[in-house]
Amino acid sequence: MLRASHLRAWAERYGTCHDPTSPELSPGLRRLYGVRHVFIHLSRGEILAPDIHRLVERARAAGVLVEHRSYGHVWHDFHIQANLVEPASVAVVELGSFLATGLDRRNPSACTAPSGGDRRDRRQL
């Protein structure tokens, strides 16, 4: 589980060259202009829940389509346990479907291998 003391220590290390209230460090402070659709998972008891709820409210107020799912009492980054813990597996499949649908709408060729049978990692495409 995440603790407030851990978050403060990590934030200090992560943002050493920036103001901690800078939008570059905090998605909750970013301008949401141009964002079309976001997908957010959160667990009950999540230490970041107040920030997440504010982000959801700001996004909806800015006209962003928000899909927001709450999972039971799982830990902050429960997704890393996909294939070991059922809620994590379900959540990762759900996120993958969301991303695939979004990529298909923006650039239909983004999820396909280039012609000629090239099997490079998709991140390189």
> In angstroms, what CA-CA distances link 91 with 8, 42, 43, 45?
27, 10, 11, 17
What does the angle CA 54 – CA 24 – CA 27 come to, to the nearest 5 degrees? 20
Total residues found in the chain within this entry: 125
Residues whose CB is less than 8 angstroms from the CB of residue 36 and which lie 6 or more positions away in sequence, other chains included: 64, 65
C-beta separation of 67 from 96 below 8 A? no
| Residue range 31-86, pLDDT digits in tens | 888 888 999 998 887 888 888 899 999 999 999 999 988 888 888 888 888 999 89
Global confidence as pTM:
0.65
- Residue ranges per structural domain of the chain: 34-124
Residue 82 contacts residue 88 (beta carbons within 8 Å): yes
